[in-house]
């Protein structure tokens, strides 16, 4: 069944036009235009895909926080339909400051433990979230060591680099202090997931949620230069950053998204992992 027919079968209306959208690493993505002028986004997965978890994460953010995310219209394993968010322009200084306000509010949403009530995804990869009262233990076992092992099992991470990561994992107390509270994070904070319109944030998409030290979210936002000085100046006014974030912990926390990219793409991302390990003395 073609995309238009699958959409019609799900919501009872057939789009008059489908326009491909970028970012479909786990599914085909289309903007669906309808005769009455409404626009929706449709993600279509293959036989092995399951888009229900993305729908769950969007709905969780929509009910548990004020973060602007697209509303889910329909979800099934092979089809996710949600609101289309209009965009215009990139991330201006004003949009960055607005993003800081939105994320600071998100990070004020707390829970009794780090992790989440169920496992989630980061991109197409499984993201385990067994709840743990210790952030250091959770980050060590469910982020750093977990993704390193996944990358090694896929043949993307050498055993020698894995050994260095294990050494680092045994020394996390040198850098990490336990946060006051677990914070809800979006979890995949790069520029492609931040939508702006007229100098403001219009929405955030493709989440990878769990409860964490919010510094891991802030670190990820610097890996591809999503946010700069306007964001951090405003965020720091609302939720002051602890000393040492930019000097050490930012690079430590960015090992997780780097390892995600090593698993998915290999190549130059391995060099980034090894450079960070060297800087941290491992």
Cα–Cα distance measured from residue 270 to residue 261, given in angstroms and rounded to the nearest whole number? 8
Residue that is written with structure tokens 């926390």 in the block? 253
CB atoms within 10 A of CB 222: 20
Which SS3 state, helix, strand or coil, does residue 132 take?
Answer: strand
**Contact predicate 162/171, CB 8 Å:** no
For the chain, strand residue ranges (E) read 17-20, 28-33, 39-44, 72-76, 79-83, 120-122, 125-127, 183-185, 194-197, 200-204, 210-212
Cα–Cα distance measured from residue 238 to residue 140, given in angstroms and rounded to the nearest whole number? 28
Which SS3 state, helix, strand or coil, does residue 23 take?
Answer: coil
Cα–Cα distance measured from residue 147 to residue 153, given in angstroms and rounded to the nearest whole number? 10
Q: Which one is catalytic: 188, 198, 213, 248? A: 188
Cα–Cα distance measured from residue 164 to residue 192, given in angstroms and rounded to the nearest whole number? 31
26-to-7, 91, 206 alpha-carbon distances in Å? 18, 25, 11
Which SS3 state, helix, strand or coil, does residue 115 take?
Answer: strand
Structure-token pair, residue 252:
């430590």
Q: Specify whether 188 is catalytic.
A: yes
Q: Which residue numbers are catalytic?
A: 188
């Amino acid at each position: 069944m073609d995309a238009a027919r699958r959409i019609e079968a799900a919501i009872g209306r057939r789009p008059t036009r489908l326009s491909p959208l970028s970012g479909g690493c786990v599914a085909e993505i289309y903007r669906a235009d309808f005769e009455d002028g409404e626009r929706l986004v449709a993600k279509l997965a293959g036989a092995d895909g399951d888009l229900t978890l993305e729908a769950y994460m969007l709905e969780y953010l929509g009910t548990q926080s004020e973060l602007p995310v697209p509303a889910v219209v329909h979800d099934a394993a092979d089809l996710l339909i949600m609101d289309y968010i209009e965009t215009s322009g990139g991330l201006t200084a004003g949009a960055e400051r607005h993003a800081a306000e939105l994320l600071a509010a998100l990070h004020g949403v707390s829970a009794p433990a780090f992790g989440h009530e169920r496992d989630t995804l980061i991109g197409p990869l499984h993201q385990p979230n067994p709840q743990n009262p210790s952030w250091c233990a959770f980050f060590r076992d469910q982020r750093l060591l977990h993704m390193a092992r996944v990358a090694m099992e896929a043949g993307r991470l050498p055993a020698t680099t894995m050994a260095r990561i294990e050494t680092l994992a045994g020394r996390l107390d040198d850098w990490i202090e336990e946060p006051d509270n677990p914070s809800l994070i979006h979890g995949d904070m790069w520029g492609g997931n931040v939508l702006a319109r007229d100098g403001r944030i219009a929405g955030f998409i493709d989440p990878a949620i769990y409860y964490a030290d919010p510094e891991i979210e802030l670190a990820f936002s610097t890996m591809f230069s999503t946010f700069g000085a306007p964001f951090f100046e405003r965020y720091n006014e609302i939720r002051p950053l602890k000393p040492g974030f930019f000097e050490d912990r930012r690079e430590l926390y960015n090992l997780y998204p780097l390892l995600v990219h090593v698993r998915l793409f290999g190549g130059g991302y391995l060099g980034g992992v090894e450079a960070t390990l060297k800087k941290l003395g491992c």
